[in-house]
Amino acid sequence: MTTEKPDITTLRIDRSGPGGPPPRALPWKYILPAAVLVLCVFGFVELRSVLVAAIEVETATATLTSPSQAHSVLAANGYVVAQRKAAVASKGTGRLVYLGVEEGDKVSKGQIIARLDDQDMVAALAKAEADLGVARADSFGTRNTLERTKALFVSKLASASDLEGAESAHMKVRANIVSARAAVEQAEVALEYTRVRAPFDGTVLTKDADVGEVVAPFASSANSRGAVVSMADMESLQVEADVSESNITRVRVGQPCEITLDAYPDTSYRGTVHKIVPTADRAKATVLTKVAFNRLDDRVLPDMSAKVAFLGEEMTDSAAAAPSKLTIPSSAVTERDGKQIVFTIREGTANAVQIQTAERLGTQTVVTRGLQQGETVVNRPPPSLADGVKVKTK
């Protein structure tokens, strides 16, 4: 048996394969700056896409406009105010025992609205009437005495002093009758003070006191009420609008107007300038103008906000009575590819909407198809504005 020696020269370590020595790890001083640089570049790109792509635009709203509003010479805002109103109170002081009205009730002039406790006044009136009766009874006796004394004086059975005394006594009793009658009237007036009556035909607006509370003139006590109810004459409602001093020359008494209440934007009321108050508000640089309604209905209430369009002489009744139409500013309509479009704004993005238009009303264009009332559109859209572009309002 022979033994051969192994050939160790064929043994080699293959360093070209994956089994080589591990590569060195990059130090943190290179990794952190690189990560910060990548984040900055990414953030700049995102921020640039938000800021640069958003185009600043003007906006307008699609609204219902009547022909008279479109051809008005001036517009102003104001409030509905009753020209005849009152805080109804009692001239006497007492506890409220009866209240016969509530908010919204219609009352007539002289109608008893409320009544105060009147037991003391009733007793005072009864005493005054009794005193008047006593004075009248005394008058009966002194009159008979005077007649007998006159007869005795003619027969020279009574002296002149006796006659003068009888006349004086009778005159004193007659004066007592006048005084007692005045006391009765005074007691009746005091009793009437416990009755709270409506000063004119109108409608109760607010109830300011309840049964059981003390009512006092001028609310002299912290626990007392000054007024029982407040009421207004609904036939005297007018719109009080502030007109700028620079535009007051466009307004004259008797000028036709159109009134639109914010509560009922689809309804317009014809009106006329009733009065221009001859003084200006120094703080607001405005002049108060009162516009009367030509016709009222039950929907018009005090303190409602209103818009007044002062009309020109060229507006006829038939044109002013035409129904309102959906309009937008003419500058909001643009033409793209031969089509009339507007850009609406939804969630900060411009959306191109094709519309169909009709006639123009002043600076407004009537839209017959494509928009709805209240939608926001871009006014004076820039040429670079396109569908889907992000926008922000000025």
pLDDT at 392 over 80: yes
Comparing CA positions, the residue from 138, 70, 123 lying closest to residue 363 is: 70
Tokens 């900060």, located at residue: 348
Residues 101 and 162 in one domain: no
Residues 167 and 262 in one domain: no
Handedness of CA 324, 326, 332, 333 (dihedral sign): negative
Residues 243 and 214 in one domain: no
- The rounded percent of the chain whose pLDDT value lies above 90 is 34
Report yes or no on 10 lying in a domain: no
In the listed set 254, 281, 313, which residue is the last one of a domain according to the structure?
Answer: 313
Confidence of residue 265 (pLDDT cuts 50, 70, 90): confident
pLDDT at 319 over 60: no
Domains in the chain: how many in total?
4
Report yes or no on 318 lying in a domain: no
Reading the block at residue 59, the tokens are 């906006």
Range of the domain at 176: 118-193
Span 65-95, pLDDT tens digits: 766 666 677 889 999 999 999 999 888 888 9
Residues 144 and 272 in one domain: no
Residues 77 and 129 in one domain: no
Report yes or no on 150 lying in a domain: yes
Span 337-363, pLDDT tens digits: 888 999 998 888 888 999 988 888 767
Report yes or no on 280 lying in a domain: yes
pLDDT (average), residues 329-340: 88
Give me the pLDDT at residue 307, please: 92
Picking from 17-31, 95-109, 279-293, which range would have the lowest pLDDT averaged per residue?
17-31
Question: How many angstroms separate the CA atoms of 198 and 210, rounded?
Answer: 17
- Burial, 295: exposed, middle or buried (Cβ in 10 Å; 0-12, 13-18, 19+)? exposed
**DSSP conformation letters of 175-189:** HHHHHHHHHHHHHHH
Give me the pLDDT at residue 294, please: 93
Question: How many angstroms separate the CA atoms of 122 and 356, rounded?
Answer: 78
Residues 266 and 299 in one domain: yes
Give me the pLDDT at residue 313, please: 66
In the listed set 251, 281, 313, which residue is the last one of a domain according to the structure?
Answer: 313
Confidence of residue 17 (pLDDT cuts 50, 70, 90): low
Give me the pLDDT at residue 222, please: 53
Reading the block at residue 139, the tokens are 């008058």
- The rounded percent of the chain whose pLDDT value lies above 70 is 81
Picking from 9-18, 104-113, 278-287, 352-361, which range would have the lowest pLDDT averaged per residue?
9-18
pLDDT (average), residues 120-148: 86
Give me the pLDDT at residue 109, please: 94
Span 227-251, pLDDT tens digits: 899 999 999 999 999 999 999 999 9
Give me the pLDDT at residue 312, please: 78
| Domain at 154, CATH number | 1.10.287.470
Report yes or no on 38 lying in a domain: no
Confidence of residue 268 (pLDDT cuts 50, 70, 90): confident
Report yes or no on 248 lying in a domain: yes
Give me the pLDDT at residue 56, please: 84
Higher model confidence: residue 312 or residue 213? Answer: 213
Report yes or no on 132 lying in a domain: yes
* Strands of the sheet with 224-225, listed across from one edge: 195-197, 112-116, 94-99, 214-215, 224-225
Picking from 103-107, 136-140, 327-331, which range would have the lowest pLDDT averaged per residue?
136-140
Residues 215 and 303 in one domain: no
Total Cβ atoms within 10 A of residue 260: 22
pLDDT at 110 over 70: yes
Q: Fill in the DSSP letter of residue 212.
A: T
Report yes or no on 172 lying in a domain: yes
Residues 188 and 144 in one domain: yes
Higher model confidence: residue 131 or residue 40? Answer: 131
What is the pTM assigned to this prediction? 0.59
Distances 25 to 17, 28, 30, 101 between C-alpha atoms, Å: 19, 9, 11, 93
Give me the pLDDT at residue 251, please: 93
